[in-house]
Structure 1
């Protein structure tokens, strides 16, 4: 299971400063958002004018008994209501489309940022956390911009304007209303501190929960095979219960501020009613004024009550913004150089010069995983890289394409430090085929031609490159798929066998036509017969291509012109297979371990004990000797 994603350690910005970071995305649509706010304020002003109209109706036509004037007063109130409804419609029409544009821009930028950040970033972050930020948090920001922000600003202004209007009827009644707001502001301050912490915790827990779902779905075969479904369910249930508890605490915080908002209004209403009747009995306020006062207070009820959930909405949006910008602010250490070098015609000379490497989270007391690698792969040469498990072979293959950067020394291509090349140019020169073949939910054609953005996927040239790559990888099974090369394969290619996925990944590397190809045991999932045919094709294809191949099988070593032995983070020997067998005891031990693994695979394939006499095996020395003789000729 993935480790938790990093939690924020930087000082927390104020809510206003945090939300202002959205301005760079909202700036193109600010005019329409501002017009939406104006129309929302206009709707509020129409509502606030209704009590003034009612005061005129009660104090004039109703008091005098003028029926016709009452009708005109009713029509005036109706007109104000219709104008308010029109303003509400305009507000929605003005803000919905701009908010979706901001959502689109945020989502596109977020995805681009994920593609741009180095592999080391993705090693530290749970995929579920990134997914929840991409979908849930950005969607929440869109809803807040279109609804929460405008209504919060307008409702606060409505309350302020309404409170000022109350003073035209009687200062004492208005003072009661204003004084009732003091406890609400105090509770609002306390609410921000508590709810801000809870909403951050909740959104992080939702990301963790998404990660658990994703891991369980991707690992469903393992869970079923080992009968660990109930264990995964218990783990998920515990996480879901923790999230529920946090959501209940959030609901409690909202309930408390809502209590104060409603209670203080009712308290002010009751006090105002008693005081108003007393003032009316003394003749200090008219019935029409008292009626208008309570009509105004009634209209202000919803703006006041809404401030609670709108404030909570703002805190949710602020937390979502923090989580989005944690990714935007992540440092990218693998970037294009300021003054890139171009290699017009790559020859494919790959060299490691004094290379050191350690992962970023490795302790300072730990030795470097790669500790002074010196290795030269000549143009057109196939170099096999062998070593025991944990010696750093796979890590070494990630350095030429700058999936990780060296922490010391340098990697060069044709004498140029790979850090002096643009990433897009570097990754056209060097292609990689991984042991763990990753395919995408797309057609076979799109997967194989992934590295050929210079080709139209439907062009005759693309068809030729596709067919040649599939032939090299011995992927004739593609022709038997329902739609051939246009067949859509499932998520991560799990609808295919391991060997089929590996062959398509190998075809993808071949189709890229690189000057250098780096392969991390690309044939491990193939049977012996298929592997032999693939090797024969690779010998032909790699004749002019520089290749660095991590080998875990004797047959893969046989494909190479030379072999490099990796031991303790260093290259301890380089030479042909025959030379290393003659002079390196450690190399003989490594090769023996390869042969034992092959014998065990054959034993299991033939359904017999791996401890039985395996019989004759392929003579690797003979194959290597033939290659040496051919090279000498």
Structure 2
């Protein structure tokens, strides 16, 4: 429950309204405790004296108290509704901002459904907790204290009878809280897993339908849904058990007080009005006492939601700009890899690094093609340039400046990237392209579309304003890849990183794109991951990556002539290991299931 204290920074800006709402609710609840006193006055006064006018006056008092109580509770709800919606929005905005700044390695490890459930279900639960259970934990506690003061004031012996169940109730609530916290956490994690399954099935619907796997997906979903159902039933059983005990034990105490009170009235030591007032007060305390189980359950679920929220918020964001190292040797202009090494954060410490001893110099205006077998580390190496991953050894410099000392915003203005798997967003074509340069005008966008041979855009229903849908799935693979390439070149970056950007294009379109791309590459310093000779021909030089190391550097013709492994890769052979390489064991890094499937352990 202590984790709920971590919500205070978000609650503090609205604390005045929350405290006011709690005070109003306490006042309304205490008004309800005045009703038994009015009943006592009516029974011992007008009823005993057979005064109809006094009875009607008492009824008017009761009506006014009821109306005042209802108005105060309505006012309390108005006080908290808007500010708590703001608290939820602020927490959701902070979570989204934080997710954008977390390392790529974090997103590789975490299922998207777990993150979605934290940003939706958990935050909704916290808003509900702040609006109702938190307030009424305070209100009901105050009501019970005030109520027992009134009970003891009316008859202390009967008050002790009602107070007797307090100790067993405290022990039961403590045991319930311990058990319920475990089940609540399990249920919320299972909701995240279920969300992941739904999301993957929706995004992969073409695969599901293409292979006729809808029944197996439905079975997997059903199995997870049943596990969640069983967990929720376990929660319900725990809640039902504590609620039954919290209801039954005080009822027994009230029954005992009724018997003893009746005896006292018969003996003349207690007035009938006092007994009526005492029992009415005791009954007025039933809801505050019986609601303890429900309030504890919601509070425990909220504590679990808070833990889940801060599990993400506590993860360190990407490192900022490092201090410039004094005495670091100057490097040549262009893009320089100097003794670069890399190991994934979650890799086995004893496993070899994905990359080691990478030394490359790409001169200004030069294009270097990276060639290597699957799992050799090409994609990983290109991801180091925009600092999607941090080097674990050596350094990378751009025009002599270490990228580790640059602010990411500046680095990503200098470096533009296009990945092999094109990702588009639920936005217009124009908005997707200008993600590469927010200040690009329409002329620059059209020029980038022309370079990428994406003129098909002008034939879409609304042209640049056409919505492409989630992940751009309304477009073909080749169309998405051309838009991703246009996004990379629209800002005319000084440094360009292209990860096999033409893999989904047909031969004729590829030829046209290559011709236009040569003009762009002539004005920038570029690294291009290539798998086909046609893509390699875009480059001035070629670097062969093998086993996480640079095996050779030269022109395409030089490597064809002098390097058997390069010649084998360019030949398109489909079987047998490359000459000079051990059979197909790829370098080991992070576990395969934790990384994208495109390049296995080396991505």
TM-score between both structures, scaled by the size of structure 1: 0.88
Instruction: Judge conservation of contact 2:453–2:512 (CA < 8 Å) in 1.
Output: yes
**1:614 match:** none
**Alignment of 1:373 onto 2:358:** yes
Q: Give how far 1:594 is off.
A: 7.0
**Alignment of 1:131 onto 2:131:** no
**Alignment of 1:304 onto 2:289:** yes
Q: Give how far 1:337 is off.
A: 3.5
**1:524 match:** 503
**1:390 match:** 375
Instruction: Judge conservation of contact 1:183–1:260 (CA < 8 Å) in 2.
Output: no
User: Equivalent of 1:426, from 411, 420, 431?
Assistant: 411
CA distance in 2, matches of 1:578, 1:595: 22
**Alignment of 1:468 onto 2:453:** no
CA distance in 2, matches of 1:573, 1:271: 92
Instruction: Judge conservation of contact 2:417–2:496 (CA < 8 Å) in 1.
Output: yes
CA distance in 1, matches of 2:344, 2:479: 32
**2:538 match:** 559
CA distance in 2, matches of 1:202, 1:595: 48
**1:548 match:** 527
CA distance in 1, matches of 2:314, 2:362: 38
Local SS of the residue matching 1:356:
strand
Q: Give how far 1:421 is off.
A: 0.2
CA distance in 1, matches of 2:75, 2:43: 32
**2:174 match:** 189
Instruction: Judge conservation of contact 1:517–1:545 (CA < 8 Å) in 2.
Output: yes
**1:290 match:** 275
CA distance in 2, matches of 1:491, 1:544: 33
**2:471 match:** 492
Instruction: Judge conservation of contact 1:440–1:489 (CA < 8 Å) in 2.
Output: yes
Superposed counterparts of 1:476-515, under 5 Å: 476-515=455-494
User: Equivalent of 2:310, from 306, 325, 336?
Assistant: 325
CA distance in 2, matches of 1:420, 1:129: 33
The structure-2 alpha-carbon separation of the partners of 1:348 and 1:29, relative to structure 1 and needing over 3 Å to count, comes to farther
Deviations 1:174-225 (A, max 9, x none): 1111112222211100011000111001000000000001111111111111
Local SS of the residue matching 1:488:
coil
Local SS of the residue matching 2:502:
coil
User: Equivalent of 1:82, from 67, 71, 76?
Assistant: 67
Instruction: Judge conservation of contact 1:429–1:516 (CA < 8 Å) in 2.
Output: yes
User: Equivalent of 2:106, from 111, 121, 134?
Assistant: 121
CA distance in 2, matches of 1:570, 1:196: 50
Local SS of the residue matching 1:366:
coil
Local SS of the residue matching 1:398:
helix
Local SS of the residue matching 2:182:
helix
What stretches of structure 1 of length at least 5 have no aligned partner?
1-14, 342-346, 456-461, 597-633
**Alignment of 1:236 onto 2:215:** no
CA distance in 2, matches of 1:431, 1:340: 26
**1:58 match:** 43
**Alignment of 1:573 onto 2:552:** yes
What stretches of structure 2 of length at least 5 have no aligned partner?
327-331, 576-603
Deviations 1:218-248 (A, max 9, x none): 1111111112111111111111111111101
User: Equivalent of 1:336, from 283, 297, 321?
Assistant: 321
Local SS of the residue matching 1:367:
coil
Local SS of the residue matching 1:168:
helix
**2:598 match:** none
Superposed counterparts of 1:55-454, under 5 Å: 55-337=40-322, 349-454=334-439
Q: Give how far 1:333 is off.
A: 4.1
Local SS of the residue matching 2:269:
coil
Instruction: Judge conservation of contact 2:101–2:318 (CA < 8 Å) in 1.
Output: no
**Alignment of 1:18 onto 2:31:** no
Local SS of the residue matching 1:223:
helix
Instruction: Judge conservation of contact 2:98–2:317 (CA < 8 Å) in 1.
Output: no
Superposed counterparts of 1:553-632, under 5 Å: 553-593=532-572
The structure-2 alpha-carbon separation of the partners of 1:414 and 1:52, relative to structure 1 and needing over 3 Å to count, comes to same
The structure-2 alpha-carbon separation of the partners of 1:131 and 1:187, relative to structure 1 and needing over 3 Å to count, comes to same
Local SS of the residue matching 1:167:
helix
* Bigger shift: residues 571-580 or 392-401: 571-580
Instruction: Judge conservation of contact 1:382–1:559 (CA < 8 Å) in 2.
Output: yes
**1:7 match:** none
Instruction: Judge conservation of contact 1:380–1:546 (CA < 8 Å) in 2.
Output: yes
CA distance in 2, matches of 1:222, 1:359: 30
CA distance in 2, matches of 1:238, 1:466: 48
Instruction: Judge conservation of contact 1:141–1:320 (CA < 8 Å) in 2.
Output: yes
**2:600 match:** none
Kindly tell me the number of residue pairs found equivalent between the two proteins. 571
Deviations 1:595-624 (A, max 9, x none): 99xxxxxxxxxxxxxxxxxxxxxxxxxxxx
* Bigger shift: residues 118-127 or 61-70: 61-70
CA distance in 2, matches of 1:433, 1:166: 75
The structure-2 alpha-carbon separation of the partners of 1:77 and 1:348, relative to structure 1 and needing over 3 Å to count, comes to farther
TM-score between both structures, scaled by the size of structure 2: 0.93
CA distance in 1, matches of 2:323, 2:278: 68
CA distance in 2, matches of 1:112, 1:556: 37
Local SS of the residue matching 2:453:
coil
